[in-house]
Structure formats: structure tokens, C-alpha cells
Amino acid sequence: MKIKIESLTKKFPSNEKKNIAETIAVSDFNLEINDGELVALLGPSGCGKSTTLYMISGLIEPTSGKIYFGDEDVTDLISEKRSIGFVFQNYALYPHMNIFKNISFPLTNLKVNDYVYFPKIVFLLKIKKVLSEESSRNKLEELIKENTLEKKLDRYKLVNAFKKEFKLSLKYANKFYTYILKFNSDYKAIIKYIDETILKIRKAFSLFKIKIDENGYFLNKDSKAFKKVRKLYRCEIDLLVNDIARIVKIDEYLYRKPSELSGGQQQRVAIARALVKKPKVLLLDEPLSNLDARLRIETREEIKRIQKETGITTIFVTHDQDEAMAISDKMVVMSMGEIQQIGEPDDIYRNPKNLFVAKFLGVPPINIYDGEIKNGGLYIAHEKITDKKINIDDQKVIIGIRPEAYLLDDESKEGITLNIKKIYTSGRDLTLIAEHPSSKDEIKIILDSEHSVNMGNNKFRLLTSKLYIFNAKTEKRVEF
């Protein structure tokens, strides 16, 4: 599903009694999201990213602007009719329900315009098809062999294998298992029994002048299968839940309670519940904030895998740049309700449009200095930091240098001299903590651990590809 957002704005009105001024949470937000794309809304707390997500979901009404899902204007459409799945920050699982019921909850009152059929016949025919086709029959034999121990079938494992391999509900996977035992794996006898059972069902309905065809579909007066708006059958719910549980890898936990699962597993349950209705759009509001560091890394990879496997258009809100850069196809950096930059994560990191974006992205953060352009040279204090000619008029500027841009080189004519105060070793890297009179903050430098660095003053040559110049007044990046 393609999403287009035009001039979206949200203003919260003033309240004189409580001395609250008007707040512009989101201002003139414009964005296009391609079908199947995962987009991260990234920014600090209070930047408007969650408000934007809630407007897209229909839970908050925009002050102005338009939201399109495909060609449909959904701006005034209620949330329930937008075909969205929403994963909240706190998961919102029902503690008294098992995982199956938590996932299936959105389906209980869901209505579809679909064919009316007798489920037992349809699922008996599925079993018959498995037994009739050579490839399916061979797979069945393989499953039985794998799940037989000392000439005894492992019912639990075999039923679960039938559910997964042959797309059967739990009820009919159990029936299949029972037929195999009852008829001692005589497949022809099982097929005969199925045919006789279907015939009995059809005859029973015919007594009430209700016609059912050989495929289990109810017929109208013209002897044609018909559709109507109806609730999902239990067997349909069972299949949908089991399918999505397999995708998010929680199918073995379906009959546990949420309290019996880890935080990462609970998060996957929340995602499964959002996806089980097969929505056109998936919205995630800081879904990993309640997890520890290790689980966050594991779960974000799972979210990426699930999103790619389902192909669903996804919007992911986070304040964590690592999360956004690791899983998103496109990133939207926000500040004070406004979009600062849109693009692929790596491109935004390499080519920030302004000082805010440069400072917000990067761990450790970019080092900021007061500098100036003088006679075509770029200077920090009295030192010319690069031999590259700067074709910009003389002026005061802000200079940003990434921590990985520093090369230890006492012989270099151009570069910067920094006073090293601390040195940390972390695996393959050295982290240097330094100071310089032209920078208000401490300076962090990343070097290979093979370098030998002394405390005190050291000269560094700089990689110009990781060096940025910003206008001192507008803070916009200046190309050089």
C-alpha cells in the first residue's frame, strides 16, 4: 500500500485558564511511502513523530492536510476502516488470555464478504487432497517417520506438523491424526470414509431443502455458490492465527499466558495481533523501548524479517538512531514538529542537510567546532585543517567532524592539534577523549587499537569526506 501525506499539521489549542499556549506538534509534514517500504520516523522526544503516527492511524484528527492510502483519501476515515495494524509501546496484551486468544481477538468480530460453506466438508477435502496427491502423500510419510519413536506416533509433534505443512486447523489436524490411527494408515480407506461422510452431510441438509455442492459450498436458488457478509469461521481464525504465529516464530507458545513469555516474545505477540487481520499498513510506536539492549537488537532484526516476509508497508517510530538506521528503507528525521531530512539511512548520515541532523546521527556524536573560512582556507583557531581550497567567501562557520575522521599524523602540515585527556580501549577500537578551545563539548575520536597515543597534545590529519561546514546563522550545510 502506497501512502501519501500532504501538508499534515496538528495544532493543540491554547488554554488561557491553565496558562497553556497554542502548541504546533506537527507542521506542514509531507511524505511519500512506497508500497512495501519500511519507513522510520526518527527524532528526540517531543518532535512530533508519535503525533504524526497517530494521525496516520486515525486516532488523532489533523488540524489540516491530507492522508492518502493508495488513491483513497482516508483523512476523515475512522481508524477501524483504515485497514491498519497498530503495535503500541506497552504491547497491551490481555494477561488472562493465552497467546492464541490474544492474537485472535481482533478477528472475533471481524466481518468479511465471502462465500458461505460448511467448514467440515472443506477441511475433509483438504485431507483427501493430501492423501490423493503423490507429493503430499510422500511428505506425509516423511512426517510420520520423523515423529515415530519405538513404533509409537508422537501425537503432539505430528499434529503440529500437519498444521504447518498442510495448512490445517488444530481441530482437523487432530482429526487427520485420528484417521491415520483408526484406519492403520490405509489411505484408500480414509478417502472412502471422507467421501461417505461428505455424502451424509449433504443428504442431511437436503432434508431441509438446503443445497451444498461437492466442495462444501452452500448454493442459492440458482444452484450457485453465493457470498454474504459474515463473521469468520473458527477454522478460518485458527488458520490465520497459526500462519502469523509461524511467521513471527511464536507458534510453539500459543497456549501459554503472556506472563510466561519473555519481553521479546511478548513483542512478537503484539506484532502478530496487529498483522493477523492482514492490514494494508503496519504502524509501530517505539515498540522496542521496554526491552533490554540485547533483546532490542534481536527484536529489531525480527521486525525487519517479518516486514520483508509479509511485504506490508510499515511506519516505525523511534528516538533510537541505531534502530532506525538498522531496519529502515527510508528515514525521516524530525525536530520541533518539522521534517529535517528524508532519505536512506546511510545517505543521511553521510550527507546531513543541517547541523541538527549531523548532531543527532552518529555514535559517538559528531564533534562541533567554531571555525572560519579565510582566504580559501578552512581554519579552527589558528590551524588550517585541510589543504582543500574552500571556494566560499570569508566568514565565521560551524565545523562538524565525525569521530572516525581523525588520523594520527604529527608530520602533517594541515590538521588539528587536540589535547588528549583520556584513552579507552574497546576491542579493535581506541576511544580518545580530547578538548580544544574552539569546541564547547568534549571531543571523541575513534582509532584502530593498533595506534600508540600519548596523553596531551597530538596532531591529527582529517578525512575531508567526514568533515562538514555549516552556516553559522542558518545552521544549514554548506557544500565545499
pLDDT for 179-194, tens place per residue?
Answer: 999 999 999 999 999 9
Which amino acid is it at 339?
I
- The pair phi, psi for residue 173, each rounded to 5°, is -65, -40
Mean pLDDT of the 330-338 span: 97
Beta strand 443-448 with 429-435 is antiparallel
Record the pTM: 0.87
- Is a pLDDT exceeding 80 seen at residue 369? yes
Q: What is the pLDDT of residue 434?
A: 96
Report whether pLDDT(428) > 90.
Answer: no
Percentage of residues of the chain with pLDDT beyond 70:
100
Tell me, what's the pLDDT at 452?
84
Whole-number pLDDT of residue 147:
87
User: What is the tens place of the pLDDT at every residue in 23-72?
Assistant: 999 999 999 999 999 999 999 999 999 999 999 999 999 999 999 999 99
Which of 315, 328, 121, 282 lies closest to 204, judged by CA?
121
pLDDT at 16 over 80: no
pLDDT value at residue 439: 94
**Per-residue model confidence as pLDDT tens digits over 452-480:** 889 999 999 999 999 999 999 999 999 98
Mean pLDDT of the chain: 93
Of 328, 327, 299, 301, the closest CA to residue 33 belongs to 328
Total number of residues shown for the chain: 480
Q: Region 295-319: what's the mean pLDDT?
A: 92
For residue 361, name the pLDDT band (cuts at 50, 70, 90): very high
The whole-number average pLDDT for the span 262-289 is: 92
User: Is residue 21 scored above 90 in pLDDT?
Assistant: no
pLDDT recorded at residue 401? 98
- Report whether 251 contacts 245 (CB < 8 A): yes
Q: Which three cell numbers stand for residue 59?
A: 486516532
Q: What is the 3-state secondary structure of the chain?
A: CCEEEEEEEEEECCECCCCECCEEEEEEEEEEECCCCEEEEECCCCCCHHHHHHHHHCCCCCCEEEEEECCEECCCCCHHHCCEEEECCCCCCCCCCCHHHHHHHHHCCCEEEEECECHHHHHHHHHHHHHHCHHHHHHHHHHHHHCEECCEECHHHHHHHHHHHHCCCHHHHHHHHHHHHHCCCCHHHHHHHHHHHHHHHHHHHHCCCCCECCCCEEECCCCCECEEEEECCHHHHHHHHHHHHHHCCCHHHCCCCHHHCCHHHHHHHHHHHHHCCCCCEEEEECCCCCCCHHHHHHHHHHHHHHHHHHCCEEEEEECCHHHHHHHCCEEEEEECCEEEEEECHHHHHHCCCEHHHHHHCCCCCCEEEEEEEECCEEEECCEECCCCCCCCCCEEEEEEECHHHEEECCCCCCCEEEEEEEEEEECCEEEEEEECCCCCCCEEEEEECCCCCCCEEEEEEECHHHEEEEECCCCEEECC
| CA distance to 400, 462, 467, 471, per residue, from 416 (Å) | 13, 8, 12, 21
Angstrom distance (rounded) from CA 459 to CA 422: 16
**Statement: residue 15 has pLDDT above 90:** no
At residue 341, the pLDDT reads 98
> 90 vs 207, which has greater pLDDT?
207
pLDDT band at 128 (very low <50, low <70, confident <90, very high): very high
Q: What is the reported pLDDT for 153?
A: 85
Residue pair 328/361 in contact by the 8 Å Cβ criterion: no
Tens-place pLDDT, residues 431-440? 999 999 999 9
Whether the predicted pLDDT of 100 surpasses 90: yes
Whether the pLDDT of residue 295 is over 90: the answer is no
How far is residue 203 from each of residues 125, 197, 221, measured CA to CA in Å? Answer: 17, 10, 17
Beta-strand relationship, 3-12 and 23-33: antiparallel
pLDDT in tens, 382-392: 999 999 999 99
Q: What one-letter code names the amino acid at 477?
A: R
C-alpha cell at 286: 517505539
Closest CA to 202 of 220, 188, 215: 215
The mean per-residue pLDDT over the stretch 87-93 comes to 86
What CA–CA distance (Å, rounded) separates 3 from 82?
12
Check pLDDT > 80 for residue 360: yes
| 330 pLDDT above the threshold of 80 | yes
Q: What is the mean pLDDT of residues 393-405?
A: 96
